[in-house]
Structure 1
Amino acid sequence: MLFDINGGEFLIIVVLALVLIGPERLPQYAAQLARLVKRVKSFAADAKDKVSDELGPELADVDWTKLDPRQYDPRRIVRDALLDDGPLLGGARPAGATAVAAVPAAAAAAGSAAGGPGGPAPFDPEAT
Structure 2
Amino acid sequence: MFNDIGGLELVTIVVLAILVFGPEKLPKVIQDVTGVIRKIRAFSDSAKQDIRSELGPEFKDFEFEDLNPKTFIRKQLAENEDLQEIRGTFDLRKELGEVTDAVNGREPEPAPGPDLVKKSAEPAADQRARFDADAT
TM-score normalised over the length of structure 1 = 0.47
